[in-house]
Structure 1
Amino acid sequence: MASPHRSLWWDQLLTARPQEAVPRPPLDGDTTADVAVVGAGLTGLWTAYYLQEADPGLDVLVLDQDVAGAGASGSSSGWCSARLGVSAAELARLHGAEAARDLRAAMRDAVVEVGGVAAAEHLACDFTYAGTVSVARNGAQLARLRAHAAEAAAWGDELELLGPDEVATHLVAAGVLGGAYTPDCAFLQPAALVRELADLVVSRGARLVEQTRVVRISPRAVVTLHGTVRARWVVRAVEAWSAQLPGSTRDVAPVRTQLLATEPLDQQVWDRVGLRPGGTFEDVAHLALRGARTTDDRLVLGGRAAGGAVRAFDEVPGDLDAPWERFERGLRSLFPAADGVAVTHRWGGPVGVPRDGHPSVGLDAESGLGWAGGYGDDGVAAANLAGRTLADLVTGADSALVHLPWVGHRSPRWARGVVRSAEVTAAGWAARLADEAETLREHRSGGR
């Protein structure tokens, strides 16, 4: 029987491949490596993959406190999109318009790169390049969507405005006033991608140790509960879990996301919903809902929790008491055709959010310390771009990637402890209240 509190992706994976439940052995005492990568999510594994591509002779050691893909990488929404947590306009303000266009182009390319590697390396992860449709369900949302579409072309992004009838060719949702479509998004099975990528880098000579908790990252060294790794280069690729590491605790705020999945829906329901397999969608609320149709015909829906802040990491995997009502209401509200269908999976996890929303990648040559993260809600394509960039930084390649504006960026640090938690929680509730106010204004105006 499927666990209702483990992600759909892991249940699918373990049903098909029960051996994935057995972790690889932990680190066995002190060792050395050319590159030590802390974190076996997508950032860490893509870094290992592209390091092997650049220099097959490198000794690469990847460490994870659980198993590869146990964190956000294996429990995401299934999106692989060109989105970043920072807008192109903000990138231009900070780094200039040309730099902003370069990073936007690199993110669009990253979606294609993930699909290309999945095909070339035979990574069975259901990669489906179907684009995504955004829907506006009140006047304020429609105005925001039109503003986004007007700006998109300036940064090279393709965002086509749609009327209600045009939206219906992609997705049939209730109360739609308009929408937009972008091709720069794919669907994939995230846990399968992580595990397939882990097997690939190990088959090519990388070492992957699981069940190995890192307690400190230092210049040229990683200290774990099972021994110390000495390495010329040390890469921190743990995203939200940076908040647990000394020296990195204030780099990002761990923010909770929640997702649910329905039972497989029959064709009659899908005829009324209209979404093709691998299709993705979102509303454009401040506290947005996003979802996808899986390859086994389930509907996945989720987003950030209203409060948002993660207070204790050991509560995240089970998260039995999380308030799922908002997402179940959103499911029924968007898709009346899904009323009465069973929700079989509910799961949650943290993403790492920088204080300015700006992701970053970097490598300090003097200390040998590298890092990447802060992608926000959708980090699958960003992790690929970060892995390629880190590989170029480590090997000294003077590529276009190492000159992108997120390289070397340092976000303002979050406040400590409960102050950070209060700030994140307040932002989440402010977004929810803004959505409620917009809905109330719409009702009072009679939907005009």
Structure 2
Amino acid sequence: MRNGGVSFWWQQVGLPSPTDHLAGDASCDVAIVGGGLTGLWTAFYLAEADPTLDVRVVEAKFAGFGASGRNGGWLSSELAGSPRAYAAVAGEDGVRRLREALRSTVGEVIGVAAREGIEADIVRSGVLTVARSEAQRRRLGGELTAAQVAERVRVAGAVAGHFDPDCARVQPARLVAGVARAVRARGVRIHEGTRATSVTAGTVVTDRGTLTAPVVLRCLEGFTAGLPGHRRDWLPMNSAIVVTEPLDRARWDEIGWSGAELLGDEAHAYCYAQRTADGRIAMGGRGVPYRFGSRTDVDGRTQPQTVESLRSTLTTLFPSLAGVRLDHAWCGVLGVPRDWSASVAYDPATGLGHAGGYVGSGLTATNLAGRTLRDLVLGHDTDLTRLPWSGHRVRRWEPEPLRWAGVHALYGLYRTADRREDAGLGRTSRIARVAHRVAGR
């Protein structure tokens, strides 16, 4: 089994070689730090809105190296944050508007991919969420019975389910590589292999020179903590994925997963999965959730115990797959603000802006954030700039060792709550409620 190598998705496509390094000091109109989907979508829409702008992206590795090329491939309308946090600043109407914007963004991404000729194995297949205990069923409020769940996918122990049609399966590396091509075609330069070491008003200092610009946008998601002065802004939370060998027809028939719908569960330490275009199951979840000092992985390598935990999850849901080989494992980081809610912000006075903190629900949200940053930078007052995550502010995470201890205790509580509910507790465990308070969710 391969471990790391960025991700299985990139191994399918082929790892790109960094191009167009920043060659000494330069200037431009808009400097974007981070070549993931947030930065790329922002560059795409800015260049589309005003082709005269000199927009440049600075990326330490290559476009899509981070979570954008490692995620589970859920182009989902899931809210990127806490409804309670957004409602506190914009009321329930604000939460509704953000949900509607995310739902429409699923179609926006699919439409751009079609127009730009981006082949990313996209199938608008929806997502099936299953409950495997009475407590999960109550939380889910699922309208599907166990029998109706089994008609789609035969998940062991499923008692109920919910189906959301506003979700599409995606091959993440193909998507982000396609968006990068579309960005370059619009005249945007992506300076890969160029690591930002400092981001301040008007200036991005890198290991290859200094880029000056009146507008500087930070789009680093889980890698934000690597910038001086930003270590406690967003927590780099780890998520890991394993992918099986290709399954034969008999195995697919046995588990009944004949469509391309995404699959998740309602556990507190939840899992997420997709049936890949080449007939595998890619399944992800939290392994070791956080590394001391906000450290990140090395080239996507993950821990053996995480691989075994995901293997156990896979065979718990599908016992008939107990002997299936795992071909690849990898991990990546996502950005988690202290209130678990994403934000998009821009200050015209300083020219500084940022977007991110998607808490694992960013594949769709990156596009919406990119369009929102476009409007903020261009000074347009639109429905997007009035969404409740626009200008959303949150306090910083605690210093070490408090945040390391807190995060590990948090996920210990969630796993304990799951075990109690799996053992027959008919309601959400009070331990999970304590974990929510610890998390600030």
Q: What's the CA shift string for 1:165-223, capped at 9, x where partnerless? A: 11112211101111111112111011111111111111210001111110100001100
Summarize deviations over 1:14-42 as a string: whole Å, max 9, x none: 1xxxxx53211321000001000000000
Distance 1:135 1:399, change over 3 A: same
TM-score between the two structures when normalised by the length of structure 2: 0.93
Judge conservation of contact 1:220–1:231 (CA < 8 Å) in 2.
Answer: yes
Equivalent position of 2:3 in the other structure: 4
The reply to whether residue 188 of structure 1 matches residue 170 of structure 2 is yes
Cα offset for 1:264?
A: 0.8
Answering whether residue 178 of structure 2 is matched by residue 179 of structure 1, we say: no
Alpha-carbon offset, residue 419 of structure 1: 1.8
Instruction: Give CA deviations for 1:221-249 in whole Å, capped at 9, x if unaligned.
Output: 10011111110110100001111112222
Which residue does the alignment assign to 2:261? 279
1:339 aligned to 316, 319, 322, which one? 322
In 1: Cα distance, 2:348 partner to 2:73 partner: 35
Q: Which residue, out of 294, 319, 333, partners 1:350?
A: 333
Identity over aligned pairs, percent: 42
Structure 1, unpaired ranges of 5+: 15-19, 150-160, 444-448
Match in the other structure for 2:393 = 410
Q: Secondary structure at the match of 2:57?
A: strand
TM-superposed deviation, 1:314: 4.9
User: Contact between 1:360 and 1:408, CA under 8 Å: does it hold in 2?
Assistant: yes
Residues 269-348 of structure 1 aligned to structure 2 (within 5 Å): 269-305=251-287, 307-309=289-291, 311-315=294-298, 317-348=300-331
Determine helix, strand or coil for the equivalent of 1:36.
Answer: strand
How far is 1:408 from its partner?
A: 0.2
1:382 aligns with 2:377: no
Q: Does the Cα contact within 8 Å between 2:152 and 2:259 map onto a contact in 1? A: no
Alignment of 1:190-205 (within 5 A): 190-205=172-187
1:394-405 matches, cutoff 5 A: 394-405=377-388
Q: Is the 8 A contact 1:305 1:428 kept in 2?
A: no
Matched AA of 2:123? T
Q: Which of 195, 220, 228 does residue 213 from structure 1 map onto?
A: 195
Moved more, 393-402 or 35-44: 393-402
Partner Cα separation in structure 2 for residue 309 and residue 432 of structure 1: 18
| Aligned counterpart in structure 1 of residue 56 of structure 2, from 48, 61, 71 | 61
Match of 1:88 in 2: 83
Work out whether residues 134 and 424 of structure 2, in 8 Å CA contact, stay in contact via their aligned partners in 1: no
Residues 77 and 259, structure 1, Cα contact 8 Å, conserved in 2: yes
* Structure 1 partner of 2:249: 267
User: Given the superposition, is the C-alpha separation of residues 371 and 307 from structure 1 closer, same or farther in structure 2, using an over 3 Å criterion?
Assistant: closer
Distance in 2 separating the partners of 1:279 and 1:299: 12
The one-letter code sitting in structure 2 at the alignment partner of 1:209 is H
| Other-structure match for 2:23 | 28
Distance 2:387 2:139 in 1: 28
Contact 1:243 1:249 in 2 (8 A): yes
Q: Measure, in 1, the Cα distance between the counterparts of 2:297 and 2:236.
A: 12
Question: What code does the residue aligned with 1:411 have?
Answer: V
The answer to whether 1:39 aligns with 2:34 is yes
**What is the CA-CA distance between 1:106 and the residue it aligns to?**
0.5
Partner of 2:431: none
Moved more, 313-322 or 168-177: 313-322
Deviations 1:388-439 (A, max 9, x none): 0001111122211011010000111101232222222211111111111212
Which range moves more in the overlay, 418-427 or 180-189? 418-427
Cα distance in 1 for partners of 2:289, 2:212 equals 40
Following TM superposition, by how much is the alpha carbon of 1:112 offset from its aligned partner in structure 2, in angstroms? 1.2
Query: Which letter maps to 1:141?
Result: Q
Structure 2: gaps of 5 or more residues: 427-441
| Whole-Å separation in 2 of the counterparts to 1:246 and 1:308 | 19
* Structure 2 residue 110 is the aligned partner of structure 1 residue 111: no
In 1, are the aligned partners of 2:80 and 2:342 still within 8 Å (CA)?
yes
CA contact (8 A) 1:362 1:372 kept: yes
CA contact (8 A) 2:80 2:362 kept: no
Shift in CA distance, 329/320, structure 1 to aligned 2, threshold 3 Å: closer
Partner of 1:79: 74
**Matched-pair contact (CA < 8 Å) for 2:297–2:332:** no
Alpha-carbon distance, 1:277 to partner: 4.5
- Deviation digits for residues 298-329 of structure 1, max 9, x if unmatched? 10101122544464225462235452222101
The one-letter code sitting in structure 1 at the alignment partner of 2:223 is W
After TM superposition, give the deviation of residue 141 of structure 1 in Å.
0.7
CA distance in structure 2 between the aligned counterparts of 1:279 and 1:321, rounded to whole angstroms: 29
Establish whether residue 369 from structure 1 lines up as the match of residue 369 from structure 2.
no
- Aligned partner of 1:256 among 238, 261, 272: 238
Which deviates further from its counterpart, 410-419 or 127-136?
410-419
Helix, strand or coil: the match of 2:110?
A: helix
Shift, 1:440, TM fit = 2.3
1:136-147 equivalence runs, <5 A: 136-146=131-141
Q: Deviations over 1:16-73 (max 9, x none)?
A: xxxx532113210000010000000000000000001111111010010111111111
The RMSD of aligned alpha carbons is 1.6
TM-score (norm 1): 0.91
